[in-house]
Structure 1
Amino acid sequence: MSVAPHPLDNLDSSIRQALEPAYELASGCASFKPSHAQTLLQLLIELKSDTTLLCAALFVRPLRAQELALEEIEAVSSEAVVGVLQALEDLSLIDRLHEQEQSDLESLRKMLLAIASDIRAVILKLSLQALLMREVERFDPQTQQRLALQTQDLFAPLANRLGIAQLKLELEDNALRILEPDIYQEISQALEENRADRERYIERIIALLRRELQQADIRINRIYGRVKHINSIYLKMKRKRLRFEQVNDVRAVRVEVPTKGECYGVLSVVNALWQPIAEEFDDYIAQPKANGYQSLHTSLIGPDNRVLEVQIRTSDMHQRAELGVAAHWLYKEKGARHTKQFEQQIEWLRRILEGGDAARGDVVFNQFRNEAFRDRVYAVSPQGRVVDLPEGATPLDFAYHIHTQLGHRCIGAKLNQKIVPLTTALKNGDVVDILTQKEANPSRDWLNEHLGYLQSGRAKAKVRSYFKKLEREKSIAAGQEMLQKEAKRLDIQLKTEDLQALVKKFNVNTIDELLAAIGFGDVSVLMLVHELLARQPKPCESLDERLARIPIKAPRKQARQSVIVEGMDDLMINFASCCQPVPPAPISGFITLGRGVNVHRKSCTNVQHLAKMHPERMIEAHWSNAVGGVFSVDVAVCAFDRAHLLRDITQIIANEKSTILKVDLQQDKQQQLHGQFTLEIADMSQLSRIIDRLSQLKDMKKVHRVSH
């Protein structure tokens, strides 16, 4: 029987000793969850929290469940712990800011005062939201959307304004995962597919850069590859209208050095190594961002003509970039000294509290939202209603924020009494008048990212919901057709009891909902079929029977015009089977007796031997600029045999639009398959993708091109 880990395990002994009385009291409450407490404590420790904040974190759930009173908590901890918990309660208003137009001004003042007077409370609030978003899938879809929108619109911008990048980036990614699941999955998959190649490339860059910096006598604290967050990639793709492969800083290196002067020394070395891209240089050391962020950012044309981003900063700058005000929670204590950037971060909170009479409460409220959430825009209805929207929002976003049906019936808009396109970006203070028709008739174009009709995740969710309801019956029929087609292809018997057994697994209530989910694209028909296959009795097939089902095709004619032989025309060209040359590998020609020219890779041992024996028959050859046709290549595999392994291999090859010409596999006594596939490919790039994807298959031990 496994024992749940103790939340105080792995803590420093002095911290553990300070927290034990609080843990004893909190753990006696029914609402206390050890795993939740351990995760929260770990996150707060990463944010450099003191024992007062760690102690307060243990009491959050019991206090909210009203299982403990503040007096009981103070008896085993301190007045400071109670102060953090009271400030956290004042911050609860922030949960409601997203939905309401008018705020309780006195409560708002308390919330602002809590943030400005004790940063520990806002760090705890943001950490709790981060944990909530990590497990957001346990909530129903409507609650997931609400929490994700709240995170995107309020908590992530607040973490950014306070400079806590560690939380800001996590909150943004998890909000995008719920609000734009297709986009999130697409970018995530693209990152994973390119991961091995990217890591090898970054390792080369780091080794070269480390050597050059050492030769320049520049001290290095750390140098490492930097992972670009998915939301950051999405925003850059959207802002600059880029494809994934055009995003510069997917391949990125970060260098940390001791001093500011050495930052510019690293920049000089980097610019000498590679060609900088002038318009992609930012000096945030000389001109820090509003939240105090400092670093040098530069993009360059690196090895293999690939774009590479390098970030350069001191270790102190890195700590402030990751933790922001969390790195300075002691700022209230006497004698504490802080950077100018940190004081500027806090000043925005204090400034909006000045002049504090109740008559100016609306000014306080507007200042707070404008300062804290600068990526927001405030538009006005003809009746004077102020609507808070994400920056870049359109009149259509405005309509859906007012009411779902107003958005559905929207056919146009007036901006400040002038008719404008529905894709127009709103500005602060714009008066928006929505033009409507009687019946709801949203357009699917509104969901097209490239057309720019909608920016708000909430509005997009409402449009998707409309089409889901409208086309549910069509989707059920489409899902059933897709499932039957795939089942027929794989010779699977579809039984009602099998489908019913899968209903709960795919988080739906009925078979119709499961079929609709397939039709909508929410459930992959391949994933469902795999589940059905797993439930059916496994026939004992021989390896030969399994190999017989692999589609083998005859080789196509290889392109003569893809190779240029110096000084010769109209010669018969043959590609040597010993080394199987493929563009862009360097090649050589060997004149045979009566069979034209055999083309080999220059590195081929056979052609090197022939060159020594018959140098007069060697001839220069190279690939033409318009290489075409296909080339035969042998790929060796070694894997632990399992159900559907061969199907998975052939599916990857088919997805990469390659053809299987021959398969030669054997099974050894350890139930391992080893042998080779002969494939038809267009170039080395296609071969590299196939090998990378095959390498990532479950139970695959080794994949490589055969060297004859």
Structure 2
Amino acid sequence: MNLPIFLSEIKSLNPKADIQEIRKAYNFAKKVYGDTKRLSGQFMLDHCLDIAISVAGAQLDTASIQATIIHETIEKFNITRQEIETQFDSQVAHIVEGISNVGKVEHQGAKRSAENLRKLFLAMGEDIRVIIIKLINRTHGLETLRVFNEEKQKRIATETLEIYAPLANRLGMGKIQSKLEDMSFPYVYALQYEWLNKKVAEEYPIRQKIVEGVKTIITKELDKENIDIIQFDGRVKHLYSLWRKLQHNDMDMSRIYDLVALRLIVKDVASCYHTLGIIHKIYKPLHGRIKDYIASPKPNGYQSLHTTVFCDDVVEIQIRTPDMHKNAEYGIASHWYYDDEKKGILTYLKRLLPQSPKKEIQWIQELRKRQEKIGPDATDFENLKIDFFKDRIFVFTPLGDVFDLPLGSSTIDFAYRIHSNIGNTMNATKINDKMVPLNTKLNNGDIVEIITQKNAHPSEKWLQYVKTSIARNHIKKYLKSKNKLLENKIDEDLPLNALKTVKELLPKIKKTLASSQVEHKIKGISQILIKSTKCCHPKYPDKIIGYITATRGLTIHKKNCENMEKNKNKDRLFPLEWY
């Protein structure tokens, strides 16, 4: 790509960009990259210029565009940060170094993945532009994924679906998210992609005809009411998003109402609500399908009115303003400021959201805290992905505060999401003004009230009901502290040498124990609760063994129970038999 064409493209996409500074970056990159080609056969310079054009289109500042043009110089051409700082400034050098640091680590197993996440989150906390450029860069990288072997294709595509696309979603960058997902989909789920492509090809013409008819009728009615229509078009649902939705609807395409949806852009918020009222006069809305994300935006900043109406079929309509549309496409990037202030994510969000920045940035702060604790094993990595990158639901407090949680979270997760003290003392829960069990799973839009009691405390059973690691960790922490106290008490009341008498006092266990709990009095010792366990489910005539616990009395296990074989407290074990 020659310089005049490139600069003209940048100027048309981003009029605020400093063309002279970008020209300087172009000349520097051309000198460093020379005729170097990528594995795909594309010149390195052209690759970086393509990404820079996308970065300009996302409305990032001049420093971001410059850094994108020269972002390969440190990692692949041994240019130092000092050289870049001398040629440009510390801001450009900082962004280039951030992109290089994030890009150094490949996705090779859980340990490397965790390290890659560390670098992503640290870069995010220091300068959000690094992450935005990295996400855009990833979309361009996926375009040439075909040059790699099948194993590497699947690895890169899987990493994109699990980390990069959900991250784009959390930053409100819907356009980038959809690109990342749809480009990765055929590499990770080839058969499903092929099947879905065929189904969409069959369904699309039918749905498109219905949508066009609805569009014509609505346009006429809006004209009568003098509503200025800025844009009104149909949009086809992205394939990966459609596939995920089908999984929740028994793979039944007839239950997907937004395969082809209408998007209506009007001049202001008042016009949005006026338009919604007019549409509902024409078509009956589907119960439970009206979503007001203007009054209650999603945590990633997304705003719009959604409604689904009955016509010849069922059609979804989205109504928004131009600013809302821009934000839905580019998220954080769409609000970038051209100034010399610090560019960290916290600074940016405080400018963007002066009314309540702490609540809006809480998830980013949590990410940075959690990334410091990621261990090398797969469990830590998987927990982090579940907490921050899986499907999310948005739940409200009675006062209207919104919290986002992983899909499948319970009221216990919600309580700990608010505060650990709320979780540790929760006694009851109301969802939408109705009392529900503590293990009830939450749905999008639920209004949840947590009722606490001073003497309430977590139960070990709660671990079966929680989805988030923050809830799980707090429950375990409480149980561990409680067990330590009880263990000390048992050691005082029942010294270990006294346990030897148990073998003589309780040599046989009733055959009915498998389905019940029995209390036995032991001479010289207070009552001990005897119970069967869930880890190995002992029942007659299994060979059994007893174990004195710190909190649950005497537990009965199969003799070959794996938990008991691993147990280090052998002095608390003794043989038993049925009678």
User: If the TM-score is normalised by the length of the shorter chain, which range does it land in?
Assistant: 0.5 to 0.7
Return the alpha-carbon distance in structure 2 between the equivalents of residues 5 and 332 of structure 1: 26
1:71 Cα offset (Å): 2.6
Matched with 2:508 is none
Q: Is the 8 A contact 1:91 1:111 kept in 2?
A: yes
Q: Which amino acid aligns with 1:39?
A: D
Please state how far the C-alpha of 1:215 moved relative to its aligned partner: 1.2
Mapped partners of 1:325, 1:433: distance in 2 = 48
Partner residue in 1 for 2:242:
233
Partners of 2:282 and 2:357 in 1: CA distance? 35
Matched position secondary structure for 2:288:
strand
Identify the residue that residue 172 of structure 1 maps to in structure 2.
181
Matched, 1:330 2:337: yes
1:282-297 residue pairs with structure 2 within 5 A?
A: 282-297=291-306
Deviations 1:363-415 (A, max 9, x none): 99899656532449xxxxxxxxxxxxx978xxxxxxxxxxxxxxxxxxxxxxx
Which of 72, 76, 81 is matched with 1:70 structurally? 81
CA shift in 2, pair 1:95/1:213, >3 Å:
farther
- What is the match of residue 21 of structure 2? 18
Give the aligned residue type for 1:372.
F
Q: Does 1:61 align with 2:72?
A: yes
| Aligned match of 2:148 | 139
Question: Of residues 53, 64, 87 in structure 1, which corresponds to 2:98?
Answer: 87
SS at match of 1:226: strand
Q: 1:89 to 1:37 in 2, by over 3 A?
A: closer
Q: Tell me how far 1:100 sits from its aligned partner.
A: 1.8
1:633-672 counterparts in 2 under 5 A? none
353 and 391 in structure 1: CA distance in 2 versus 1, 3 angstrom threshold: closer
TM-score by length of 1: 0.48
Q: CA deviation at 1:23?
A: 1.0
> How far 1:426 moved relative to its partner?
10
Residue pair 2:290, 2:307 contacting (<8 A) in 1 also: yes
Partner amino acid for 2:212?
E
Which one scores higher on RCO, CA 8 angstroms, separation ≥ 6?
A: 2
Residues 8, 38 of structure 1: 8 Å contact kept: no
Q: What amino acid is aligned across from residue 239 of structure 2 in structure 1?
A: I
| Equivalent of residue 364 in structure 2, options 349, 374, 388 | 349
> 2 CA distance for matches of 1:95 and 1:297?
40
1:244 to 246, 253, 262: 253
Match of 2:315 in 1: 308
Distance 1:27 1:145 in 2: 33
Compared with structure 1, are the counterparts of its residues 94 and 10 closer, same or farther at alpha carbon in structure 2 (3 Å cutoff)?
same
Deviations 1:508-552 (A, max 9, x none): xxxxxxxxxxxxxxxxxxxxxxxxxxxxxxxxxxxxxxxxxxxxx
The answer as to 2:322 corresponding to 1:319 is: no
Matched residue, 2:110:
99
Deviates more, 1:346-355 or 1:30-39: 346-355
Over the matched positions of the two proteins, sequence identity in percent amounts to 28
Aligned residues of 1:130 and 1:171 also touching (Cα < 8 A): yes
The answer for the alignment partner of 2:388 in structure 1 is 372
Give how far 1:21 is off: 1.3
CA displacement, residues 34-85 of structure 1 (integer Å, 9 cap, x when unaligned): 4312321222122111111111111122322124222332233221110111
1:191-241 deviations in whole A, cap 9, x for unaligned?
334444444443332222122112122232221112210011111111121
How far did residue 149 of structure 1 move? Answer: 0.8
Give the superposition deviation at 1:277: 1.0
Unaligned runs of 5+ in 1: 377-389, 393-416, 419-423, 435-708
- The 3 A distance-change label for structure 1 pair 207 and 283 is same
**Could you say which structure has the larger radius of gyration?**
1
Confirm or deny that 1:218 pairs with 2:232: no
* Cα distance in 2 between the residues matched to 1:118 and 1:354: 16
2:143–2:183 Cα contact (<8 Å) kept: yes
Check conservation: 2:71, 2:100, Cα contact below 8 A. Answer: no
TM-score normalised to the size of structure 2? 0.58
Does the 8 Å CA contact 2:293/2:304 hold for their aligned counterparts?
Answer: yes
1:443-592 paired onto structure 2 within 5 Å: none
Aligned partners of 1:372, 1:59: CA distance in 2, in Å?
31
- Does 2:290 correspond to 1:281? yes
Distance 1:317 1:170 in 2: 19
| Residues 221, 256 of structure 1: 8 Å contact kept | yes
Taking the aligned partners of 2:24 and 2:74, their CA distance within structure 1 comes to 16
Q: What amino acid maps onto 1:263 in structure 2? A: C
C-alpha contact 2:75 2:100 (8 A) present in aligned 1: no
Paired positions, count = 385
User: SS at the partner of 2:172?
Assistant: coil
- The whole-number CA distance in structure 1 between the counterparts of 2:213 and 2:74 is 52
Q: Which amino acid aligns with 2:287?
A: A
- Code of the residue aligned with 2:352 in structure 1: it is H
Following superposition, the deviation at residue 25 of structure 1 comes to 1.4
Q: Are 1:51 and 2:38 matched, yes or no?
A: no
Query: Following the alignment from structure 1 to structure 2, what is the Cα–Cα distance between the partners of residues 249 and 331?
Result: 37
Structure 1 Cα separation of the partners of residues 187 and 6 of structure 2: 29
Partner of 2:569: none
Structure-2 change in CA distance of 1:224 and 1:44 (3 Å): same
SS of the aligned residue for 2:320 comes to strand
Q: 1:344 to 1:165 in 2, by over 3 A?
A: farther
Say whether the 8 Å CA contact 2:171–2:331 is kept in structure 1: yes
Alpha carbons of structure 1 residues 10 and 110: separation in structure 2 relative to 1, 3 Å: closer
Note the residue ranges of structure 2 that are not aligned, 5 or more in a row.
37-42, 342-346, 393-405, 409-459, 477-533, 537-579
Per the alignment, do residues 19 and 342 of structure 1 end up closer, same or farther by CA in structure 2, a change over 3 Å counting? farther
Is 2:3–2:26's contact at 8 Å kept on the other side of the alignment? no
Give the whole-Å Cα distance in 2 for the aligned partners of 1:168 and 1:309. 21
CA distance in 1, matches of 2:98, 2:291: 38
SS at structure 1 position matched to 2:294: coil
- Asked if the contact 2:387–2:468 (Cα under 8 Å) also holds between the matched residues in 1, the reply is no
Shift of 1:147: 0.5
Please point out which of 155, 162, 169 is paired with 1:160.
169
Indicate how the Cα distance of structure 1 residues 36 and 89 shifts in structure 2: closer, same or farther if over 3 A, else same. closer
Paired residues of 1:163 and 1:324 also in contact (CA < 8 A): yes
CA contact (8 A) 2:9 2:53 kept: no
Alignment partner of 1:49: what SS?
coil
- Tell me the equivalent position of 2:190: 181
Contact 1:97–1:103 (8 Å) recurs in 2: no
- In the alignment, does 2:262 pair up with 1:253? yes
Question: What do residues 573-610 of structure 1 show as CA deviations (whole Å, max 9, x unaligned)?
Answer: xxxxxxxxxxxxxxxxxxxxxxxxxxxxxxxxxxxxxx
Match of residue 130 from structure 1: 139
Letter aligned with residue 119 of structure 1: I
Question: 1:433 & 1:328 partners in 2: Cα distance?
Answer: 54
Do the aligned partners of residues 158 and 78 (structure 1) sit closer, same or farther apart at CA in structure 2, a change above 3 Å counting? same
Name the amino acid aligned to 1:25: F
> Could you tell me how far apart the structure 2 residues matched to 1:425 and 1:237 are?
26
The CA distance in 1 between the partners of 2:183 and 2:357, in whole Å, is: 27
CA contact (8 A) 1:300 1:307 kept: yes
State how far apart, in whole Å, the 1-side matches of 2:166 and 2:81 are.
31
Q: Which amino acid aligns with 1:43?
A: S
* Letter aligned with residue 291 of structure 1: N
Matched, 1:272 2:275: no
The letter of the residue matching 2:74 is: L
